[in-house]
Amino acid sequence: SVDEFLDKGSYVVEKMTQEDWNKVYSQAYKKLKELLGEGKTVIFDGGSLRKSERQTLKNIVESMNILSKLIYVNTTKEEIIKRRTENQVTKERGHLEDVTMQTALDMFEEPKSDENTILYNNNVNLDIWIKDNIK
């Protein structure tokens, strides 16, 4: 997870510079290569908001002659708002400031068919979805 490297660096997301982000993602990419080099199956848990970011991940994986898959967890803005509101009470997860969340939503480029996306919708039973989509 990219969060691992954010935590290690004691970064405050709202105050990070582009240089900080580059450093964090470089560390995450290095870890990705290390785990893949060990023959492990890896789920890269990072924003990957833009197509170019997803392409970077795909290039890394393919440079190691490994097949990559993009799983797109399609969550509506309404569901995101609902979860954020609940989390402000429960504090079960980390919480992004509103300005950071809005920046992420503004940056997001929805995956298109040319990215060979596997779609997951939170209204689908996860066990059945895994059985049907993950081999």
Summarised one tens digit per residue, pLDDT across range 57-115 is 999 999 999 999 899 998 888 888 899 999 989 988 887 888 888 888 899 999 998 89
**Taking Cα atoms as reference points, which of 91, 107, 90 lies closest to residue 46?**
107
pLDDT beyond 80 at 135: no
| Count of domains for the chain | 1
What Å distances lie between residue 90 and 83, 93, 94, 118, CA to CA?
A: 10, 8, 10, 31
pTM of the model: 0.82
Q: How many CB atoms lie within 10 A of CB 64?
A: 11
Domain that includes residue 57, residue range: 2-133
pLDDT beyond 80 at 116: yes
What Å distances lie between residue 7 and 3, 89, 94, 122, 132, CA to CA?
A: 6, 23, 11, 28, 35
pLDDT per residue as tens digits for the range 25-63: 999 999 999 999 999 999 998 889 999 999 999 999 999
Residue recorded with tokens 């979805």: 129
- Residue-level pLDDT at 111: 95
- Residue-level pLDDT at 121: 85
Sequence-separated (6 or more) residues with CB below 8 Å from residue 73: 120, 122
